[in-house]
Structure 1
């Protein structure tokens, strides 16, 4: 039975999917939900393949549980982490995973006559993944931080059990791979951490109709207009249409419905959705999104056939908000907004780059807000989209940043550009993301000061980001050596608050900071670029080392405190300097948590405040 053949009283249920605001934060793709899915996380079979013999030995077809060196692993935790139950942090450039898929998983995924096709999703596999089912090659993906999916319909029967096998290749010495803070040494050192190899985000199954909605991109064009791009999969229904309904669930208020016809075989449909009640400027704040009032608008997008019957439907959400820069300020809804941010490495002792649980992602957002921040910079990591859901839901500005490579070459440029494009495509619709950061501290462009090729690359990727998303500011090379940047971002780890106050005091100080050699001892601009009046932000500062209780010998920070009172006094002094500046438009403290040997967090690695959280919040906000 096809969807169109369902009884009339059943068809509307497709358009009444669970609203995004009612989800519990476990759905792995929070801005495009269907009613059913099958979680494939849990215990898998696992093997290291240090000699890279698995392909020739036939491991792609699977292996028995008693195979030599076969062991259990808890997916999605990387094998370097304790949570994986493997916990081997040495060099293992090739690893293999296997598990069965059977009728129960397919039923949970929602496979039926109305949804006959089966998609196999991977949240992220670091770095290069190849996938087989019953020894048949399904496909491959390169890029350690972005999602991918395969249509496996013809390979999985409803009444059979099948063997799913994944090979992950992650060369720890290949510096052309975008890796962020993952160390290329065997042991973590300085500001780099244990590696993450293989599967580290959720693996899941989803059943969809033969003609279905593949992706949604929401871009608020103004407080009263939303631009939606819908990407379709499969055959586009002749004479079909797309219906978009927006609802503000807090008031049970239908904001509007738009239906557009599908023209020809076009697989990408652009829709303008007016929000009529927002046209009155006196009332537009009632629906807009901000950290203080994170109102979300629920959406249902339905694909209809030529008879007007639903073929597919997904639930989504968006936030009505605009961001930009102007007059030396960061702008939210056209008004200056003080960005009070914290650097977040997104790293846990037990699970490394993978969150220990979906609930931990929510708690991370809650802690950031409880500490007095209204923003965070996800540092050198493309974070789990469920973190972004909670940032959307609870109200937290986010700077989205690419994990850097550490080599400049044709291959490195190709790899980072492709992965960055996938990251922006994945996260474009989140209202919480307000700034893009394609480079940090010249990582991967180490000679950008005097190399025209590296300068061209930095400018080009910054402009390419704008081409993909013209609605958000883009920072070109956060920290120093910048060119076509929308925000002049400065890194300064001066530990004396009085000195920091003088550095950022007034207009004359601003001139000194943004021209010539910056406090980082790097030129602030390169390639002929210069100050054009952009807002200036101190996007890395602080980094004060303090270890309550037992200390580690390899502890690292930019400056150190003797005890808790000394530590909070230093943090307060640094924030007093930021608040005293006449021109800083925002700041980002380093960092949220201790991470391995980096003991300069406001919280311990286990997310415990180093002094009473009220004292930290008072330092950050300047109030009790």
Structure 2
């Protein structure tokens, strides 16, 4: 029910309704509007897909019926039926009499049903809901294309009694500079004579009056006036002060609006809230739920979610291509959670589709205008609905430009993002969607930030349109971490329906289906690395934490960014890049998230993470400061397990990015063997507030001598010399060698293996290798890739003895991570046309898979380190970049030595 109405009689129609599918569309012909044949009893709000069985995939027509006992209202009153949202088309009858039709699945509508009512007694409410299978030209967001569809009466239903002339709505536009609020009152129709309206305002919910009431004369359907707000508290995430404005027609109707005094703006690349710089630490929120699908189960559920978000350091949720339910916005206002709102997209670019989309956009703004938590409206997301031709289609460019201008006229109090994440036409937010995988793509991510996102943000506009120095936000990025399937099955009492991907054919890849994990875990030897799938999933979450932490730290090191929005707040069905899983269980501890996502973050810029004894290491310290206040205190640091520690004084201004003048410097101590280490850094403010972080290190002995004889094939002189300096001896014939080192697979090398030699094939160059025999390689996406962020690389640590390797491979493998894998699964390669390639799953049967690559739910399998028998010899094939890192990462020589030992 609406928040603003006061003193009106309402009747809640939520609860038990009759429900009947109509697959043959015969219901109208058979007069179901007079009364439904026997069917199901369901609980409204209702999404029919959550009934399970055939209804999960059912599209088309379905009917709802509820019989209530009420009397017709007094002659001077009208009775309206209200629907919060029905997806998609709704036709309503009362007592068999046609009332009206509404199209649109996300926003409210109502009908006057007074004339359709019986004078007393039972009243029969019947709805025919139609959700088309072909939904390309209606706003849908991700329902049915990525995840489970949504159909039915999925929001509240109620009756509301109103007078002949009533206040339809109130819009309040705050002006903090003028200390006033512009109030627009809209009536149900033009009054027959001028009406006096009394307007009052008070704090909410404490009801402390804000000055005196004002009187306004209404002669038209809509009137605008100004209410003074002298000395009003401003709304902000830290202080979500609210006010309630009440408008009352003398002797007639009364309505109200809850709002906040706040101002959002931008200037010179900086985003401001109430004239103070605002830095976004947000998460994309698709607002899907494990049982209720598209609506939160309860207010308590919403409150817990927002508390979880704030505990993790988030100050914004980007409600992704879904018009959010009113109760979520209600609590966002009260709890101080910023909202970036975004209407659902359509798919096919047609006049009717754009018309429907624009109607939804305007209805969203109309409904949600007074929510202070909403500070940004999006129009489009990644050109969805524009068919990805915006950069070269003048008609679509004009459409986006005009839609921006029109939206700005409707609501000038918020920022507008025209095309979130991709190329812009006219926008108030210059945002980017950029997906990189760390640690593997650290250099690529840094280059993207410096050379594109920050370095050339003016290039993110369609030719002919220019930047106005908007704030720059990375509004999508992230990595995957698998959830506990055991906990999921316990919750559902078995496998949920969405274990079979509910998206369209564009989401049929194996890595997007939880069912893939069932067959691939044992088949490809992951059971030799992990105890069970739960162990693998927990390990993948560690990798996710490491990666997301590093992605955010790189952004927070740099000036020129106003913030970021991680993908995403919660898992959604098969997509597992949420900071919470689908059941809203945190994947990480809140204090761990605060270490890099808090208001203040300590960032260590380490000259070298993996170092030899005796090397001098410099750690530059950066304070990322989103508090707008000076920082004073001390930084303490230590490397546990060593005597290395220190303290540095800090006294800096309130700038957003501050480099501490004095770095941490130390010399790597003597090591008997390679070991994983951590540097722990804590900034303690003078008031006792603490901000801490830890970073991974690996220390190794200065020189590691290991004597063996190798026959080099297609290796550079520099590589041979480096190996010999570490105790190995290069020989001139294969017969003299303990092992063959080769970067090509020649006939001579293969014959040596068949004759009993051990061969290490350095295959890091992948497809660029001139001679590679029957080995085939798949190049991993070298640049930005959403798919690659779902990936994980694992290693059988038992083969490498006591070498400091994590099963999921962390920063100890910096520089070693491969660019290629040996593909086990079939895959496709984009080009002028999509080319379909073949993997070789037989490696699982004829080889030892010591290094494994997979994506998502153990799909797109590949090998990075494989051992197999060839003849009487043993061949190791690895795509790890061992040759490239022999001189830079001390772990490399130890990996090679362990392979020699076998």
Q: Normalising by structure 1, what TM-score?
A: 0.84
Which whole-Å CA distance do the structure 2 matches of 1:221 and 1:318 have between them?
A: 12
- Is the contact between residue 83 and residue 155 of structure 2 (CA under 8 Å) also seen in structure 1? yes
Alignment counterpart, residue 482 of structure 2, candidates 546, 561, 580: 546
Counterpart CA distance in 1 for 2:54 and 2:571 is 20
Aligned-partner Cα distance in 1 for 2:390–2:53: 41
CA deviation after TM superposition for structure 1 residue 510, in Å? 4.3
Q: Deviations over 1:4-48 (max 9, x none)?
A: xxxxxxxxxxxxxxxxxxxxxxxx222444464222111111111
Residue aligned with 2:129, SS: strand
* Alignment pair present for 1:366 and 2:307: yes
Between structure 1 and structure 2, the one with the greater Rg is 2
Whole-Å separation in 2 of the counterparts to 1:511 and 1:248:
42
8 Å CA contact 1:49–1:92 kept in 2: the answer is: no
Q: Check 1:239–1:526 CA distance in 2 against 1; reply closer, same or farther (3 A cut).
A: closer
**Pick aligned residue for 1:390 from 315, 331, 334:** 331
| Separation in 2, partners of 1:330, 1:539 | 14
1:526 equivalent to 2:462? Answer yes
Q: How far apart in 1 are the matches of 2:431 and 2:447?
A: 14
Q: Work out whether residues 13 and 158 of structure 2, in 8 Å CA contact, stay in contact via their aligned partners in 1.
A: yes
Q: Aligned partners of 1:48 and 1:617: how far apart in 2?
A: 49
Summarize the alignment of residues 503-514 of structure 1 with structure 2, pairs less than 5 Å apart: 503=447, 510=453, 512-514=455-457
SS in 2 for 1:563: helix
In 2, Cα distance between the equivalents of 1:31 and 1:620?
36
Indicate the SS of the match to 1:546.
Answer: coil
Which residue pairs with 2:245 in the alignment? 299
Match of 1:7 in 2: none
Task: Provide the C-alpha distance between the structure 2 equivalents of 1:41 and 1:617, rounded to a whole number of angstroms.
Answer: 40
Is residue 31 of structure 2 the alignment partner of residue 58 of structure 1? yes
**Closer, same or farther: CA 257–504 of 1 in aligned 2, 3 Å:** farther
CA distance in 2, matches of 1:297, 1:504: 44
Residue of structure 2 in register with 1:49 after alignment: 22
Residue 549 of structure 1: how far off its partner (Å):
5.0
SS in 2 for 1:618: helix
Mean Cα displacement is larger for which, 34-43 or 221-230?
34-43
Structure 1 residues 209 and 485: CA distance shift in structure 2, 3 A: same
Deviation at 1:301, TM superposition (A): 1.5
> Are 1:289 and 2:235 matched, yes or no?
yes
Q: Describe the SS at the equivalent of 1:139.
A: strand
The 2-side partners of 1:273 and 1:86 are apart by: 55
Q: Secondary structure at the match of 2:339?
A: strand
Residues 42/237 of structure 1: CA separation in 2 closer, same or farther (3 Å cut): same
Cα 1:348/1:249, change in 2 over 3 Å: closer
Distance 2:452 2:559 in 1: 9
Q: Separation in 2 of the partners of 1:159 and 1:114?
A: 14
Is residue 503–residue 513 contact of structure 1 (8 Å, CA) maintained in 2?
A: no
State the 1:585 CA deviation. Answer: 0.4
More strand by share: 2
- The answer as to 2:174 corresponding to 1:197 is no
Q: What is the deviation of 1:288?
A: 0.3
User: How much does 1:112 deviate?
Assistant: 6.1
Asked whether the 8 Å contact 2:172–2:257 carries over to 1, the reply is: no
Of structures 1 and 2, the one with the larger relative CO (CA 8 A, separation 6+) is 1
Which residue of the partner structure matches residue 236 of structure 1? 191
The DSSP-based 3-state class of the residue aligned with 1:255 is coil
What SS does structure 2 have at the residue aligned with 1:539? strand
Tell me how far 1:437 sits from its aligned partner: 0.2
What is the aligned partner in structure 1 of residue 588 from structure 2? 611
Which consecutive segments of 4 or more residues in structure 1 shift more than 6 A?
Answer: none
Q: Structure 1 pair 480/203, CA: closer, same or farther in 2 (3 Å)?
A: same
**Alpha-carbon distance in 2 for matches of 1:535, 1:500:** 23
Query: Is the contact made by 1:118 and 1:151 (CA closer than 8 Å) also made in structure 2?
Result: yes
Change (3 A) 1:34 1:388: farther
The aligned counterpart of 1:98 is 65
How far apart are residue 113 of structure 1 and its match?
4.8
Q: 1:15 is matched with which residue?
A: none
Is 2:211 aligned against 1:275?
A: no
Correspondence for 1:162: 123
CA 1:513–1:33: 2 relative to 1, 3 Å: farther
Which residue, out of 230, 240, 246, partners 2:201? 246
Deviations 1:602-624 (A, max 9, x none): 11111110122322333322346
| Pair 1:259 & 2:214 matched | yes
- CA drift of 1:466 comes to 0.6
Please state how far the C-alpha of 1:355 moved relative to its aligned partner.
2.1
Show CA shifts across 1:311-357 (max 9, x none): 11123311000101112111101221001111001101111112223
Partner of 1:5 in structure 2?
none
1:274 Cα deviation from its structure 2 partner: 1.1
Structure-2-length-normalised TM-score = 0.59
In the aligned structure 2, how far is the partner of 1:500 from the partner of 1:375?
27
Is the CA contact (8 Å cut-off) linking 1:548 and 1:610 kept in structure 2? no
User: Structure 1 residue 414 and structure 2 residue 350: aligned?
Assistant: no
Output the CA distance in 1 between the equivalents of 2:312 and 2:75.
48
Instruction: Give the distance between the partners of 1:250 and 1:173, measured in 2 at CA.
Output: 46
Q: Distance in 1 between matches of 2:457 and 2:299?
A: 41
Q: CA deviation at 1:73?
A: 1.6
Q: Distance in 2 between matches of 1:349 and 1:172?
A: 23
Aligned partners of 2:95 and 2:117 also within 8 Å:
no
- The 1:561/1:536 distance shift into structure 2, 3 A limit, reads farther
1:87 CA displacement: 7.1
Return closer, same or farther for 1:158/1:338 CA change in 2, 3 Å cut-off: farther
Cα deviation, 1:249-301, whole Å, max 9, x if unaligned, reads 5775321344334343x1111111111335xxxxxxxx000001001012222
**Relative to structure 1, is the Cα distance of residues 563 and 544 closer, same or farther in structure 2, using a 3 angstrom cutoff?**
closer
Question: Any gaps of 5 or more consecutive residues in structure 1?
Answer: 1-27, 185-191, 279-286, 305-309, 517-523
For structure 2, the residue ranges without an aligned partner over 5 or more in a row are: 489-498, 501-509, 514-536, 602-690, 693-902
CA distance, structure 2, for counterparts of residue 349 and residue 373 of structure 1: 22
Q: Is 1:463 the counterpart of 2:409 in the alignment?
A: no
| Aligned mates of 1:401, 1:249 — CA distance in 2 | 27
1:174 offset after TM fit, Å? 2.6
| Greater Cα shift, 464-473 or 255-264 | 255-264
Instruction: Choose 244-253 or 496-505, whichever is displaced more.
Output: 496-505
Task: Tell me what 1:214 maps to.
Answer: 168
Identify the residue that residue 573 of structure 1 maps to in structure 2: 550
Displacement of 1:234: 4.7
**Shift in CA distance, 158/616, structure 1 to aligned 2, threshold 3 Å:** farther
Check conservation: 1:323, 1:332, Cα contact below 8 A: yes
Whether contact under 8 Å (2:570, 2:582) holds in the other structure is yes
> What residue number does 1:585 align with?
562
* DSSP 3-state at the match of 1:494: coil
Residues 499/515 of structure 1: CA separation in 2 closer, same or farther (3 Å cut):
farther
SS at match of 2:147: coil
| Aligned equivalents of 2:17, 2:54: Cα separation in 1 | 15
Counterpart Cα distance in 1 of 2:538 and 2:444: 17
Maintained 8 Å contact 2:60/2:133: yes
Q: Give 1:322's aligned residue.
A: 263
Contact 1:330–1:336, Cα closer than 8 Å, also in 2: yes
Task: Measure how far apart 1:115 and its partner are.
Answer: 7.2
Quickly say closer, same or farther: Cα 1:503–1:250, change in 2 above 3 A. Answer: farther
